[in-house]
Amino acid sequence: MARLTMVTIKLFGMTKSLAGGQGSLALAFTNGRQVKDLVELLDTGYPMIGELIHKKKVLVSVNQEIAHEDTTIQDGDEVALLPPFAGGCPIDPVSDDAQLVRVQREDFSVDAEINRVRARSKRIGGIATFLGIARDRSKGRDVDSMTFEHYEGMAQTKLREIRERALKDFDIIEVAILHRYGEISIGDNIVLIVVGAEHRAEAFRACEWAIAELKRITPIWKREHTPEGEVWVEEHP
């Protein structure tokens, strides 16, 4: 007799909407325990989600790592469906390093974060920053406000990876990365990158790379609230 395997799948962004507003799905399968078998079930029960997975517009993660179709799903594994990332829980508030990488609901002070990086070393001769703020127009439509959703744990891990890679690959001294979640009003801060280096050129290069990488790999999703309704944003320049 085939063994029945129950899997709970976390949903984010547009996948929530396509599943009727549910935050998770519980699926059972007997013929195989790989990601491709899970996708077959989604093709049957939630064909629009299955189509997005086949088109690589939605990724499957297992234990907070992007999975391939042959990845085996074990009992107790954490499985999630990840729409295209829009981009952002603080960790130990006592640690200075922890404060340099944060995902938080509340606003942040740009001056305070610049000073945090500046205080890390007297060798810092230049600081480059990128500040993302909420604008009132997107792709030709008015925007009243926006909401950011994140995959807690995985989002923090990816931001740490970006910081570590920036420190390794660029001639810089320190990096701070912050991203807010929850509802954001027009004109409010969203994301901040602060890079300290001896010279400006490397600071600028690392800052530009860090925000691009954040948008590419961090599981954060944006929902824009417009006069015509709510829209999940799939791509960012």
DSSP per-residue letters across 165-214 = HHHHHSS-SEEEEEEE-EEEETT-EEEEEEEEESSHHHHHHHHHHHHHHH
Distance CA 113, CA 91 (A): 16
Give ranges for CATH 3.10.20.30 in the chain: 5-82
CA distances from 38 to 5, 27, 35, 134 (A): 11, 8, 5, 37
pLDDT of residue 216: 92
59-92 tens-digit pLDDT: 999 999 888 888 988 888 899 999 877 653 333 3
Fold designation for 5-82: Ubiquitin-like (UB roll) (3.10.20)
Give ranges for CATH 3.90.1170.40 in the chain: 96-233
- CB contact set of 203 (below 8 Å; sequence gap of 6+): 126, 127, 128, 172, 195, 196, 197
pLDDT of residue 33: 82
**Bridge partners for 137 per DSSP:** 142
Q: What is the mean pLDDT of residues 205-229?
A: 95
Q: Is the pLDDT of residue 107 over 80?
A: yes
Q: Is the pLDDT of residue 213 over 90?
A: yes
Class of the domain covering 96-233: alpha beta
7 band by pLDDT with thresholds 50, 70 and 90: confident
165-187 tens-digit pLDDT: 999 999 999 999 999 999 999 99
Q: Could you give the percent of the chain with pLDDT greater than 90? A: 65
**Bridge partners for 230 per DSSP:** 225
98 band by pLDDT with thresholds 50, 70 and 90: confident
